[in-house]
């Protein structure tokens, strides 16, 4: 798989990463450890070198899973994890105080069975802690060799500029896909200006762009999509128009809707590295097949023209989660 550089800090990763959250958290019951490790090892076989986790995924269990699965391959992979929630519980609110950042780093290092974190993201901007203090703390961790690169997640332009001035940011991780294009307005231009990489999470619209979900789909009671307005039965039915469009384009390319959605993201900028997640090796293989799909200018124009007249229904977060993004 081709490599891409995130930012100007020397961080080079595979063109796709693996978002590991769903193996432990968020999309229903956790995957059995043996199966999860097999999937992570399959990702390595496919050329993936970039793995994304966070202490809140579980909490803690996802980092422990990656620590065990990646330990034999540690020198060949890049591990990203995150800090920023109180006691690793999203429902307890934000906490990016310097002492918390340090405590999370030390605990994550142990769970990940490593002596350094390759990419350490602030999971959400904490309005109660100056960004200069957050970036300064990570800067100190970098000087101590415990962290290699600094990142932000779901941050707004002002926060990005403040943080980058204190400690160069390697990557911003935020949602971006054919059904959430908000970053194109302000975020992508500032990332290009400052030389910061972009890591889109949910590049398949939390599974919707795969074409495997419709208005009749039933989610597990622990699946967070039950709380997402965009996934209400009514909105899912309306949003199938977008999936139908992807399917028609995919047919002409002898590809799948998921592969077209991922190939489209790769085509946007050379410093974009999507991190699709899955719990199934079959889907992992399908997703990584997108790396070999090169959309032509005509195909990209066709997608753009068709997508521009489709209005996706429903907000991407519930009210509480929405308060924590784009600060």
Domains of the chain: 3-322 (3.20.20.100)
Say how far apart CA 193 and CA 21 lie, in whole Å: 30
Give the DSSP letter of residue 311: -
Residue 323 pLDDT class (50, 70, 90 cuts): low
Give one DSSP letter per residue of 113-132, joined into a string.
Answer: TSS-EEEEEESS--TTS-HH
Which ranges of 117-174 would DSSP assign to H, the alpha helix? 131-143, 157-166
Tens-place pLDDT, residues 27-42? 999 999 999 999 999 9
pLDDT at 317: 80
Q: What is the mean pLDDT of residues 90-111?
A: 97
Q: What is the mean pLDDT of residues 214-238?
A: 95
What is the overall mean pLDDT for the chain?
96
pLDDT at 180: 95
Q: What is the 3-state secondary structure (H, E, C) of 102-115?
A: HHHHHHHHHHCCCC
Q: Report the catalytic residues.
A: 57
Tens-place pLDDT, residues 269-300? 999 999 999 999 999 999 999 999 999 999 99
- Taking 80 as the threshold, does the pLDDT of residue 7 lie above it? yes
Neighbours of 270 (CB within 10 A): 12
pLDDT at 326: 63
Say how far apart CA 47 and CA 69 lie, in whole Å: 15
Residue 324, exposed/middle/buried by CB under 10 A (0-12, 13-18, 19+)? buried
Say how far apart CA 115 and CA 105 lie, in whole Å: 10
Residue 6 pLDDT class (50, 70, 90 cuts): very high
Q: What is the mean pLDDT of residues 214-234?
A: 95
For residue 5, the SS3 value is strand
Residue 318 pLDDT class (50, 70, 90 cuts): confident
Tens-place pLDDT, residues 68-96? 999 999 999 999 999 999 999 999 999 99
Q: What is the mean pLDDT of residues 135-140?
A: 98
Q: Which residue has the tokens 């034999």?
A: 72
Contact 64, 99 (CB under 8 A): no
Say how far apart CA 191 and CA 199 lie, in whole Å: 11
- Taking 70 as the threshold, does the pLDDT of residue 320 lie above it? no
Strand 11-14 vs strand 18-19: parallel, antiparallel, or unpaired? unpaired
Return all residues near 87 (Cβ < 8 A) that are at least 6 apart: 95
φ/ψ of 271, rounded to 5, equals -110, 25
* The two three-digit tokens of residue 315, written as one number: 């907000």
Q: What is the mean pLDDT of residues 210-218?
A: 94
Sign of CA dihedral 117, 177, 272, 164: negative
Contact 190, 162 (CB under 8 A): no
């Amino acid at each position: 798989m081709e490599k891409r550089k995130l930012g100007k800090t020397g961080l080079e990763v595979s063109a796709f990463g693996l978002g590991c959250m769903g193996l432990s958290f968020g999309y229903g019951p956790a995957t059995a450890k043996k199966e999860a490790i097999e999937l992570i090892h399959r990702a390595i076989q496919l050329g993936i070198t970039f793995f994304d986790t966070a202490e809140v995924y579980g909490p803690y269990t996802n980092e422990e899973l990656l620590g065990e699965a990646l330990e034999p391959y540690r020198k060949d992979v890049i591990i990203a994890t995150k800090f920023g929630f109180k006691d690793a519980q999203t429902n307890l609110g934000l906490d990016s105080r310097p002492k918390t950042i340090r405590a999370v780093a030390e605990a994550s290092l142990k769970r990940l069975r490593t002596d350094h974190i390759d990419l350490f993201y602030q999971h959400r901007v904490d309005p109660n802690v100056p960004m200069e203090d957050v970036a300064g703390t990570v800067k100190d961790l970098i000087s101590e060799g415990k962290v290699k690169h600094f990142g932000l997640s779901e941050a707004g332009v002002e926060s990005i500029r403040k943080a980058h001035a204190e400690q160069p940011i390697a990557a911003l991780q935020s949602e971006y896909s054919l059904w959430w294009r908000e970053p194109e307005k302000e975020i992508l231009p500032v990332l290009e200006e400052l030389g910061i990489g972009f890591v889109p999470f949910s590049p398949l619209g939390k599974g919707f762009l795969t074409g495997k979900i419709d208005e009749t789909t039933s989610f597990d009671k622990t699946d967070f999509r039950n709380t997402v307005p965009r996934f209400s039965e009514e909105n899912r039915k309306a949003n199938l128009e977008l999936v139908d469009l992807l399917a028609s384009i995919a047919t002409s390319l002898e590809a799948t809707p998921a592969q077209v959605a991922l190939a489209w993201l790769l085509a946007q900028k050379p410093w974009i590295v999507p991190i699709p997640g899955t719990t199934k090796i079959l889907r992992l293989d399908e997703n990584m097949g997108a790396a070999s799909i090169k959309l032509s200018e005509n195909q990209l124009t066709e997608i753009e023209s068709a997508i521009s007249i489709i209005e996706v229904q429903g907000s991407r977060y519930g009210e509480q989660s929405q308060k924590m993004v784009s600060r």
